[in-house]
Chains A and B, each alone.
Chain A
Amino acid sequence: MRFAWLICGIAGLAFSAVLAVEPGEILSDPELEQRARGISKNLRCLVCQNESIDESHAPLAGDLRILVREQLAAGKSDSEVYQYVTDRYGEFVLLKPLASGSNLIIYLAGPILLCFALVAAAVYVVRRQKSPMAVPSPLTNEERRTLEKITGSRLKPRGQQDQERA
């Protein structure tokens, strides 16, 4: 059966889709490995579409995973590792953009919008409370005809109806 594997292996070599995290990459220290996985989930695979290096099959992502683990093994803190990677590959590599400068727009948009929306809604609700009960809009001619057909009697002409309501 090994032989069969081999043939298929060779056939698939051109587009070898290795599994994201390889057994060989895993650090022996489980705590360090945990941190490495956490960081990997926040780093973008540079040659893929919107995939983290934790999920990506690309060889370059594998290199980056190893790089992260080397840095962690060397005793760097998480933020130092992010800094190290960003220095080399730019802001593009971060899946969670830095909360600084223009990026604050997307971080604050939600909370600020919600505040505005709450104020607007509060104003609306207060006005609704004060408003008189709904006044039904007058019938159109078409509706009047339908209604007359149903009730079998003639309704008062429009002007008179409005006068009575006033």
Chain B
Amino acid sequence: MVLPGSSVTLAARWQVTVELGHFALILAFLCALVQCTIPLIGTQRGWVSWMRVVAPASFAQFILTALSFAALTNAFIQSDFSVSLVATNSHSAKPLLYKLSGVWGNHEGSMLLWVLVLSLFSCLVAVFGRQLPVHLKSLTLAVQAAVSSAFFAFILFTSNPFERRFPVPFEGAGLNPLLQDPGLAFHPPFLYMGYVGLSVSFSFAVAALLRGRVDAAWARWVRPWTLASWVFLTIGIALGSWWAYYELGWGGWWFWDPVENASFMPWLFATALLHSATVTEKREALRNWTLLLAILAFSFSLLGTFLVRSGIITSVHTFASDPGRGIFILAILLVFSGGALCLYGWRGASMVPSGAFAAVSRETALIANNLLLAVAAIVVFLGTFWPLAAELIFGRTLSVGPPFFNIAVTPFLAALAAILPIGAALPWKRGAITVVLWRMRMALAASLLSGVAVLIYQSGGPVVGWLGMAIAVWLAGGVLIDFWQRVAPRRQELGVTLRRVIGLPGSEWGKALAHGGLAITIAGISAITAWETEVIRTSNPGDHYQISGQYGLRFERADTVAGPNYRAQQAEFTLLADGEPVAQLFPERRFYPASGMTTTEAAIDMGFLRDVYVVIGDPQPSGVTVKAYVKPLANWIWLGAIVMSLGGLVSLTDRRYRLAAGQRRTSFVPAQG
């Protein structure tokens, strides 16, 4: 086949770009090596010019990594099947969005995204950290660069995304159709922003240990980074859960799968770190614990990467058959976590605790919060790794699944939610439980009332129904009362209250939103767990049947439709509420010829108070299998997560972080006299 001249030059140019990408990645690796060695020598010898290498090095590292990532993305967009990775993971007929998400929908590409985000964060620390003491900044960025050079080496030596393939195939193998979904297209980038963002807290902690100094200022610098990663992690986890809900076909939203646990453990530690860093920032207490949490949060991110990338949990045997990558990540994990923990053991003791507080105080409440979160995370960790440990140590082949996690982890989280309103309302240093309880009396009463009402109404239904609702109402009421007390501590004019509402610091808004979001999520989880109804039957066009007291379905017709890269069987249902039509639903079963896979596309009528969820199965001789659910408050699960992340974002705008970051610099004016 003769290509027109212009296409040939074009193709030749793109070909060069992939190699350029590889080259840029090698250069970025070298940059990272410079960034982690030179400043270390500089801080040792006190050579400030050597310390200052970190900023330009991190810019260069980021730009080179971005170039490398762009080259790979371009290969995916162009469907350049001479690149092995593109050939195995992409297809020319795929929509552009999924060609893009295909870049990180595979091992090599996702690791490239990982280092891209890592170098982006280093770069941001260099930009926003202008106010940092030069020692701390250069040490932090040197540690950051050490982590990224390990991952650059991992990619270059074990998972090169730029490998060519010969002969060049005419068509790619396609991306797993389950992953061709907008929810999942953005799930990995958000999750990685969260995972990798925690590396900044880690680097800050290691730098602080090396310097032997942790104070309120340090906590103030660390907290925004933790907060940002926490926001990303929350969104990432919520997106993944939402995807599972509508794509996997039975409306489950959390499975305690090892891969999910891999993201949940860092989230738990990051949440704990957020709270303990507040104590360190405001009261200079819990310094050692905050350091430890910063180290643990990122260690668990690395552990999560190891879990997902090595496939060790799926089967010990697949791991053993291709151990190269798994062992490499394990080595990274051991070197960084082990190293940091040793450093912690060695230097941590020298951090003398300070800051006195009474047994009943915000500090104590936050310690309780931290204990519950940490214990929950450790139980998740044990449960996730238990099948592996039991097989290797005790020779027992067993499984640990949702029923275990539900009873072993949920109680700690429920307890946390139950003490939250009291802790959040207690003052620093010294408080009285009775005073707080009295202030919260309305919330307490509302919570008891709703719990009892649900208990009577559902008569003997699941515990999660009434207990969950009681906790959610208690939490929401607590947030409202606490917020109200802050803006209107006494009788005052409306104008004054309004001014106080506007003037309330970002962190207070953030706290209220995040805790309120948690209440919403808890309500959603409890309702869907306790009151979901389900009807499974074979049905034919023309059939009409009830799926709950209120809702009915009318099967209108069955059809076949063609999508861009799939064919689908589609059914049309009319959703009837009390006999009146309210929505048309089009559940599908899609067949993707490129991969020979079939997926179910649920049809969901979303509502504020309930989702109606319909899926169709195989055609049977007697009709089509139809599964229909009414899922009460389903959307509240993710709505709550959105509100929580919003709280994090609002909290990030707090004035004190802008000051700490040096964005609003005040010029130093010598005092008079």
Spell out A's residues near B (CB within 8 Å): 1-2, 4-9, 11-12, 14-24, 26, 41-42, 44, 49-52, 55, 90-98, 101-103, 105-107, 109-110, 113-114, 117-118, 121, 124-135, 137, 142, 149-152
Q: Considering the chains assembled together, what is the distance between the CA atoms of A94 and B404 in angstroms?
A: 10
Kindly list chain B residues whose C-beta atoms are within 8 Å of the C-beta of A21: 536, 627
| Residues 571 to 621 of chain B near chain A (Cβ within 8 Å) | 589, 591, 596-600, 615, 617-619
B625 touches A128 (CB 8 A): no
Kindly list chain A residues whose C-beta atoms are within 8 Å of the C-beta of B171: none
Q: Considering the chains assembled together, what is the distance between the CA atoms of A1 and B557 in angstroms?
A: 8
Q: Considering the chains assembled together, what is the distance between the CA atoms of A5 and B560 in angstroms?
A: 7
Cβ of B322 < 8 Å from any Cβ of A? no
Q: Considering the chains assembled together, what is the distance between the CA atoms of A98 and B266 in angstroms?
A: 28
Residue of B397, B412, B615, B625 near A91 (CB, 8 A) is B397
- For B518-533 the 0/1 string (1 means CB < 8 A from A) is 0000000000000000
Q: Considering the chains assembled together, what is the distance between the CA atoms of A50 and B123 in angstroms?
A: 39
A128 touches B382 (CB 8 A): no
Centre residue among A5, A8, A95, A134 by max chain B CB count within 10 A: A8
- Of all chain B residues, the one with the shortest Cβ separation from A118 is B371
Q: Considering the chains assembled together, what is the distance between the CA atoms of A19 and B401 in angstroms?
A: 21
Q: Considering the chains assembled together, what is the distance between the CA atoms of A137 and B656 in angstroms?
A: 22
Cβ of B317 < 8 Å from any Cβ of A? no
Q: Considering the chains assembled together, what is the distance between the CA atoms of A49 and B591 in angstroms?
A: 22
Kindly list chain B residues whose C-beta atoms are within 8 Å of the C-beta of A1: 541, 557-559
CB distance from B412 to the nearest CB of A (A): 7
Q: A8-B568, A52-B402 are in contact. List 18 more A-B contacts (CB 8 A).
A: A1-B557, A2-B558, A8-B569, A12-B591, A19-B615, A19-B627, A21-B536, A96-B404, A97-B400, A103-B398, A114-B371, A118-B371, A121-B368, A128-B355, A129-B358, A133-B356, A137-B213, A150-B668
Cβ of B482 < 8 Å from any Cβ of A? no
Kindly list chain A residues whose C-beta atoms are within 8 Å of the C-beta of B257: 49-50
B619 touches A6 (CB 8 A): yes
Cβ of B378 < 8 Å from any Cβ of A? yes
Kindly list chain A residues whose C-beta atoms are within 8 Å of the C-beta of B615: 19
Decide yes or no: A94 and B399 within 8 Å by CB, A4-B560, A102-B394 being known contacts.
yes
Cβ of B4 < 8 Å from any Cβ of A? no
A95 touches B354 (CB 8 A): no
CB distance from A87 to the nearest CB of B (A): 15
- Of all chain A residues, the one with the shortest Cβ separation from B385 is A106
CB distance from B150 to the nearest CB of A (A): 29
CB distance from B46 to the nearest CB of A (A): 11
Q: Which bracket fits the contact residues of B? A: 35 or more
Residue of B255, B398, B600 near A50 (CB, 8 A) is B255
A93 touches B314 (CB 8 A): no
A-B contact pairs, 30 of them (CB 8 A): A4-B569, A5-B560, A8-B568, A8-B589, A19-B536, A19-B600, A20-B627, A23-B537, A41-B402, A41-B403, A44-B399, A50-B257, A55-B250, A91-B398, A92-B398, A95-B401, A98-B398, A102-B394, A106-B383, A106-B386, A106-B404, A107-B408, A109-B379, A110-B378, A110-B408, A113-B378, A117-B371, A125-B364, A128-B356, A129-B359
Centre residue among B355, B383, B569, B599 by max chain A CB count within 10 A: B569
Kindly list chain A residues whose C-beta atoms are within 8 Å of the C-beta of B591: 8, 11-12
CB distance from B77 to the nearest CB of A (A): 29
Q: Considering the chains assembled together, what is the distance between the CA atoms of A26 and B625 in angstroms?
A: 13
- For B139-154 the 0/1 string (1 means CB < 8 A from A) is 0000000000000000
B400 touches A106 (CB 8 A): yes
Kindly list chain A residues whose C-beta atoms are within 8 Å of the C-beta of B407: 96
Q: Considering the chains assembled together, what is the distance between the CA atoms of A114 and B369 in angstroms?
A: 12
Residue of B133, B357, B367, B669 near A142 (CB, 8 A) is B133
Q: Considering the chains assembled together, what is the distance between the CA atoms of A98 and B569 in angstroms?
A: 43
Kindly list chain A residues whose C-beta atoms are within 8 Å of the C-beta of B412: 110, 114
Kindly list chain A residues whose C-beta atoms are within 8 Å of the C-beta of B353: 127-128, 131
B397 touches A8 (CB 8 A): no
- Of all chain B residues, the one with the shortest Cβ separation from A131 is B356
Task: Give the top 5 A-B pairs by smallest Cβ distance, nearest first.
Answer: A95-B401, A152-B670, A19-B617, A96-B403, A134-B354
Cβ of B252 < 8 Å from any Cβ of A? yes
Q: Considering the chains assembled together, what is the distance between the CA atoms of A20 and B408 in angstroms?
A: 27
- For B380-391 the 0/1 string (1 means CB < 8 A from A) is 001100100010
CB distance from B603 to the nearest CB of A (A): 14
A109 touches B382 (CB 8 A): yes
Q: Considering the chains assembled together, what is the distance between the CA atoms of A118 and B354 in angstroms?
A: 20
A16 touches B618 (CB 8 A): yes
CB distance from B295 to the nearest CB of A (A): 18
Residue of B256, B379, B671 near A151 (CB, 8 A) is B671
CB distance from B153 to the nearest CB of A (A): 30
Cβ of B363 < 8 Å from any Cβ of A? yes
Residue of B255, B356, B386, B559 near A4 (CB, 8 A) is B559
Residue of A17, A26, A126, A152 near B598 (CB, 8 A) is A17
A55 touches B252 (CB 8 A): yes
Q: Considering the chains assembled together, what is the distance between the CA atoms of A105 and B390 in angstroms?
A: 10
A106 touches B408 (CB 8 A): yes
B558 touches A22 (CB 8 A): no
B396 touches A91 (CB 8 A): yes
| Residues 348 to 362 of chain B near chain A (Cβ within 8 Å) | 353-359
Cβ of B538 < 8 Å from any Cβ of A? yes
Residue of B371, B393, B627 near A121 (CB, 8 A) is B371
A49 touches B314 (CB 8 A): yes
Q: Considering the chains assembled together, what is the distance between the CA atoms of A125 and B133 in angstroms?
A: 32
Residue of B285, B354, B364, B408 near A135 (CB, 8 A) is B354
A117 touches B374 (CB 8 A): yes
CB distance from A118 to the nearest CB of B (A): 7
Kindly list chain B residues whose C-beta atoms are within 8 Å of the C-beta of A109: 378-379, 382
Kindly list chain A residues whose C-beta atoms are within 8 Å of the C-beta of B624: 5
Kindly list chain A residues whose C-beta atoms are within 8 Å of the C-beta of B378: 109-110, 113
Residue of B394, B404, B599 near A95 (CB, 8 A) is B404
A8 touches B379 (CB 8 A): no
